[in-house]
Amino acid sequence: MMKISKIREMSSPDLEKELGELKTELFKLKFSLATNGLDNPMKIKEVKKDIAKINTVLTERKIADTKKA
């Protein structure tokens, strides 16, 4: 699980890349769960939380950019 402080230190393009990777991982986890089960079903919850954290930081940055303009 990623810490919010680490996420805030990353650049926006890096966050977009990480977001894509996490969404792919989430898809694979859900597929595995549906087909043959997972060793750790809580991993899905962790990935979802990381996706939400990244989306939150990206949204905060967009809002800050619009206020500056």
- Residue 37: the pLDDT is 85
- 58 located within any domain: yes
User: Do the Cβ atoms of 33 and 41 come closer than 8 Å?
Assistant: yes
Residue 62 sits in a domain of what CATH number?
1.10.287
- 37 located within any domain: yes
* Domain carrying residue 64: 12-68
> What's the number of domains the chain is made of?
1
- 5 located within any domain: no
- 44 located within any domain: yes
- 27 located within any domain: yes
Residue 9 has pLDDT above 90, yes or no: yes
- Residue 3: the pLDDT is 93
pLDDT digits (tens, 9 = 90+) for 24-68: 999 999 999 999 888 898 999 999 999 999 999 999 999 999 988
CA 11 to chain centre: 14
- 53 located within any domain: yes
